[in-house]
């Protein structure tokens, strides 16, 4: 199912999208696979998989450590594609990849998109590819008939750029909750409400909020503003601190269920 | 080549450059570009910049005819551009003065910087102390260990040094961490990048603050020799001292531009930092450039005896000058650089930074083929006091003894 259809189905019954993130291959791909299956079962609507990269400059310490563990375990883009392929038909939630631009560029933009489409990737999030640099990738997507969505990111500092960033976008808009890198935090941007208002005014696409959201209480507080929430570091932390693989998957699963009941 | 326009479109040098950064920073980069362009046209800004470089840092630096070195190398006529005589001991301060003045204009109250060996960190801490600004420096844990004294210097100057434990724990990771800090504190913080790297407008801006090196050389060599040099030689890590020297000569087709990278233990090993000689196009620290990476785009660990050259990327304008054939890039090994370090110390009484020793080492090869009348200008980008410990250790490990040589002996 396409990302936009997921949102449409949720909106029509008054629900919000739950979008969890984990780093692929942390600490090994078998754990990622088990966690994805469990999150899908527990009620995740879209699942975001991070492709491990040596220099993740939009990520905080928790996800940096996860990508390092994944790389040390020998995870690479080919193995991530294999995992995505193997998950098709076994989960309801569409998969989105969070990937830094250099690995995409080395793969070849055209080949990367073709491979994503063939493997069943529904969306791409590229945190270091702003509007000014995305032209080639966007054109390639269009030439191939938009087999997947390039999810645009907007930040509380984007201001007049918001309209340009969301123009022609598909899927949903990824709204960054606050200035800073990924990682659980207590405070979001002071102008969060007006920022989301600006995004709403610029697009009819669904809007999901990410960066820093770490518990059910926070989700309860901000859910009225947006159509979905994205949680990453808190889940990665569960994997990091669990003593056994089963424990991590179980913990993630019950956390997703709690979030699900909050989000309808 | 009559007119090589390096910036074909805003922020791009051919295919290199650009702004590959998180959306959160984009407006900050645009504001920076606007203010920097305004400064370029503002004589008052430049008057202030030149005032500080003259009265505080001691510019202009001499262009010194290295007669003994010339004799030792047996070819060419070698001049040293004495950037090592700047306050804080390297060219880094030229750029820091410019950027901190810009930060003040923009009303920023907090300065952050990355540093490898500590030279840029020390220069930034120095200018922040003088201009009374809060300063934080990011430095990889490995470098903190290797350059303990520079950490003390920065702290003495009132800066806070943040040790970076992620990734390879060196300059690359310190830069990532500084960018992360900037993303979080973009409203009140100015990021002073130390080389001609990073997202646009940094590569152009840092070059413009370093071109004073080349501008002075042009005047000085014309006064001394009545003609332009045949060769300009400078070491290249990120490439700011080289870019500063080269830039005013780019449209002088008879002046040959030679960049010298770090070959570490050898270009045929995986322990080097010769980005242009061995790298391929990719994205690092917000720019498209040449970089050392594996087939999947993961950035590779690099090595050089000189911490200032220990960087897997290079300024995008260098990548372009290489691609356009306007500048030639070579590499010398740790061992060759150490030999040159020793030789310059003994022949001229000048202890060069290990970075700059790479440039001197290349001149040793160049001088013989260039012929007697060739004018060679080498950028002596920094002094070597910071490196004596590293050099002593390396010479001991390599079984190199300090050679005794009488003054005037031909080497």
ipTM: 0.97
> What phi, psi does A23 have (nearest 5°)?
-85, 125
pLDDT at position B411 is: 42
Whole-number Cα distances in Å, B388 to A16, B317, B353, B364, B395 = 62, 32, 9, 21, 10
pLDDT at position A115 is: 98
Percent of chain A with pLDDT over 70: 100
Q: How far apart are CA B127 and CA B116, in angstroms?
A: 18
3-state secondary structure A208-222: EEECCCCCHHHHHHH
- Tell me if residue B63 falls in helix, strand or coil: strand
Q: How confident is the model at residue B9 (pLDDT cuts 50, 70, 90)?
A: low
Cβ within 8 Å, pair B298-A159: no
- Tell me if residue B77 falls in helix, strand or coil: strand
pLDDT at position B410 is: 45
Spans of all domains in chain A:
3-263
B164 touches A: beta carbon within 8 Å: no
Shortest distance, CA A254 to any CA of chain B (angstroms)? 31
Q: Which residues contact A222 (CB under 8 A, 6 or more apart)?
A: A177, A188, A192, A209, A213, A229
Q: How far apart are CA B232 and CA B212, in angstroms?
A: 15
Q: How confident is the model at residue B3 (pLDDT cuts 50, 70, 90)?
A: low
B26 touches A: beta carbon within 8 Å: yes
With b for 16 or more beta-carbon neighbours within 10 A and e for fewer, the A87-110 pattern comes to beeeeebbbbbbbbbbbbbbbeee
With beta carbons under 8 A apart, name residues in chain A contacting B167.
Answer: 54-55, 64, 68
pLDDT at position B10 is: 74
Mean residue pLDDT across chain B:
94
Cβ within 8 Å, pair A55-B179: no
Residue from A51, A53, A55, A109 to probe the interface with B (highest B Cβ count within 10 Å): A55
B124 touches A: beta carbon within 8 Å: no
Q: How far apart are CA A29 and CA A225, in angstroms?
A: 35
Q: What is the pLDDT of residues B358-391, one digit of tens each?
A: 999 999 999 989 988 999 999 999 999 999 999 9
Q: Which residues contact B349 (CB under 8 A, 6 or more apart)?
A: none
Let me know: does B240 contact B196? Beta carbons within 8 Å. yes
Residue from A106, A137, A175, A233 to probe the interface with B (highest B Cβ count within 10 Å): A106
The closest alpha carbon to B322, from B9, B6, B73, belongs to B6
Residue from A54, A79, A174 to probe the interface with B (highest B Cβ count within 10 Å): A54
Let me know: does B258 contact B233? Beta carbons within 8 Å. yes
Question: B299 has which bridge partners?
Answer: B293
Whole-number Cα distances in Å, B78 to A175, B75, B230, B331 = 58, 8, 11, 19
Q: Mean of the pLDDT values across residues B47-51? A: 98
How open is the CA angle B87-B89-B95, to the nearest 5 degrees? 70
The closest alpha carbon to B205, from B315, B356, B79, B89, belongs to B315
Let me know: does B256 contact B226? Beta carbons within 8 Å. no
Let me know: does B352 contact B380? Beta carbons within 8 Å. yes
The closest alpha carbon to A63, from A23, A104, A29, A30, belongs to A23
pLDDT at position B409 is: 47
Question: B12 has which bridge partners?
Answer: B9, B17
pLDDT at position B1 is: 40
Chain A with chain B: Cβ pairs closer than 8 A: 114
pLDDT at position A186 is: 87
- Tell me if residue A149 falls in helix, strand or coil: strand
Q: What is the pLDDT of residues B257-291, one digit of tens each?
A: 999 999 999 999 999 999 999 999 999 999 999 99
Is the pLDDT score of A113 beyond 90?
yes
Tally of CA atoms within 13 A in the half-sphere of B408 that contains its CB: 0
- A59 in active site: yes
Q: Mean of the pLDDT values across residues B110-122? A: 95
> What phi, psi does B242 have (nearest 5°)?
-70, -45
Shortest distance, CA A203 to any CA of chain B (angstroms)? 17
pLDDT at position A223 is: 97
Let me know: does B61 contact B216? Beta carbons within 8 Å. yes
**For residue A68, is the peptide bond before it cis, meaning its omega torsion is within 30 degrees of 0?**
no
**For residue A178, is the peptide bond before it cis, meaning its omega torsion is within 30 degrees of 0?**
no
Q: Nearest chain A residue to B22 by CA: give it.
A: A128
Q: Mean of the pLDDT values across residues A157-180? A: 96
pLDDT at position A95 is: 98
Prediction pTM value: 0.95
Q: What is the DSSP letter of A183?
A: S
Number of residues that make up chain A: 264
Q: How far apart are CA B131 and CA B126, in angstroms?
A: 9
The closest alpha carbon to A1, from A129, A73, A96, A131, belongs to A96
Q: What is the pLDDT of residues B301-354, one digit of tens each?
A: 999 999 899 999 999 999 999 999 999 999 999 999 999 999 999 999 999 999
Let me know: does A147 contact A141? Beta carbons within 8 Å. yes
- B92 in active site: yes
Q: Mean of the pLDDT values across residues B95-110? A: 97
Q: Which of B33, B57, B81, B92 is catalytic?
A: B92
Q: How far apart are CA B343 and CA B360, in angstroms?
A: 9
Is the pLDDT score of A235 beyond 70?
yes
A170 touches B: beta carbon within 8 Å: no
Q: How far apart are CA B113 and CA B381, in angstroms?
A: 20
Domain A3-263: state its class.
alpha beta
- B31 in active site: no
B282 touches A: beta carbon within 8 Å: yes
Let me know: does B114 contact B139? Beta carbons within 8 Å. yes
* Closest by Cβ to B180, choosing from A71, A176, A181: A181
Let me know: does A228 contact A206? Beta carbons within 8 Å. yes
Q: What is the DSSP letter of B59?
A: P
Q: Is B304 left (phi over 0), alpha (psi -120 to 50) or beta?
A: beta
């Amino acid at each position: 199912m396409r990302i936009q259809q997921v949102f449409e189905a949720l909106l029509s019954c008054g629900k919000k999208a739950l979008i969890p993130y984990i780093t692929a291959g942390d600490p090994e791909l078998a754990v990622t696979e088990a966690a994805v299956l469990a999150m899908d079962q527990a009620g995740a609507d879209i699942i975001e998989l991070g492709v491990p990269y040596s220099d993740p400059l939009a990520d905080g310490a928790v996800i940096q450590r996860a990508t390092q563990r994944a790389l040390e375990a020998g995870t690479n883009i080919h193995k991530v594609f294999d995992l995505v392929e193997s998950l098709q038909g076994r989960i309801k939630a569409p998969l989105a990849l969070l990937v830094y631009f250099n690995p995409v560029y080395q793969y070849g933009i055209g080949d990367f998109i073709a491979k994503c489409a063939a493997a069943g990737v529904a969306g791409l999030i590229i945190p270091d590819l702003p509007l000014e640099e995305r032209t080639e990738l966007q054109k390639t997507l269009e030439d191939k008939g938009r087999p997947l969505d390039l999810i645009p990111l907007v930040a509380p500092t984007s201001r007049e750029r918001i309209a340009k960033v969301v123009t022609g976008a598909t899927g949903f808009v990824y709204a960054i909750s606050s200035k800073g890198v990924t990682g659980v935090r207590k405070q979001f941007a002071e102008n969060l409400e007006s920022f989301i208002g600006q995004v709403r005014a610029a697009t009819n696409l669904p809007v999901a909020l990410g960066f820093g959201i770490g518990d059910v209480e926070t989700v309860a507080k901000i859910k009225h503003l947006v159509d979905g929430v994205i949680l990453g570091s808190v889940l990665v932390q569960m994997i990091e601190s669990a003593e056994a693989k089963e424990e991590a998957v179980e913990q993630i699963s019950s956390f997703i269920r709690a979030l699900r009941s909050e989000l309808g | 080549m009559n007119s090589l326009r390096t910036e074909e479109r805003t922020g791009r040098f051919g295919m290199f450059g650009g702004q590959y950064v998180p959306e959160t920073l984009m407006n900050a980069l645009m504001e920076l570009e606007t203010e920097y362009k305004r400064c370029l046209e503002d004589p008052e800004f430049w008057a202030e910049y030149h005032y500080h470089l003259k009265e505080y840092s001691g510019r202009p630096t001499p262009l010194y005819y290295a007669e003994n070195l010339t004799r030792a190398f047996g070819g060419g006529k070698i001049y040293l551009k004495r950037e090592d005589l700047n306050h804080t001991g390297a060219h880094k301060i030229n750029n820091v003065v410019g950027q901190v003045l810009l930060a003040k204009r923009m009303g920023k109250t907090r300065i952050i910087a990355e540093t490898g060996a500590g030279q840029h960190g020390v220069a930034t801490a120095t200018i922040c102390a003088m201009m009374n600004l809060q300063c934080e420096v990011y430095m990889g844990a490995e470098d903190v260990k290797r350059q303990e004294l520079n950490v003390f210097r920065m702290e003495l100057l009132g800066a806070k040094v943040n040790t970076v434990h992620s990734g390879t724990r060196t300059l690359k990771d310190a830069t990532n961490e500084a960018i992360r800090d900037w993303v979080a504190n973009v409203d009140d913080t100015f990021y002073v990048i130390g080389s001609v790297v990073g997202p646009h407008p940094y590569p152009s801006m840092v070059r413009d603050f370093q071109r004073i090196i080349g501008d002075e050389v042009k005047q000085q060599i014309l006064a001394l020799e009545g003609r332009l040099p045949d060769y300009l030689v400078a070491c290249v890590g990120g490439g700011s001292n080289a870019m500063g020297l080269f830039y005013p000569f780019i449209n002088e087709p008879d002046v040959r531009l030679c960049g010298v990278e770090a070959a570490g233990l050898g270009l045929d090993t995986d322990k080097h930092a010769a980005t242009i000689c061995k790298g391929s196009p990719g994205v690092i620290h917000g720019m498209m450039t040449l970089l050392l990476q594996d087939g999947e785009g993961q950035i590779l660990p690099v090595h050089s005896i000189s911490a200032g050259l220990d960087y897997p990327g290079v300024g995008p304008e260098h990548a372009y000058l290489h691609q356009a054939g306007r500048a030639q890039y070579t590499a010398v090994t740790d061992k060759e650089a150490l030999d040159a370090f020793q030789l310059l110390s003994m022949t001229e009484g000048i202890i060069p930074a290990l970075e700059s020793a790479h440039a001197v080492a290349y001149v040793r090869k160049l001088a013989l083929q260039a012929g007697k009348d060739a004018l060679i200008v080498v950028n002596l980008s920094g002094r070597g006091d910071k490196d004596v410990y590293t050099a002593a250790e390396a010479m001991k490990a390599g079984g190199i003894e300090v050679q005794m040589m009488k003054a005037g002996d031909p080497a």
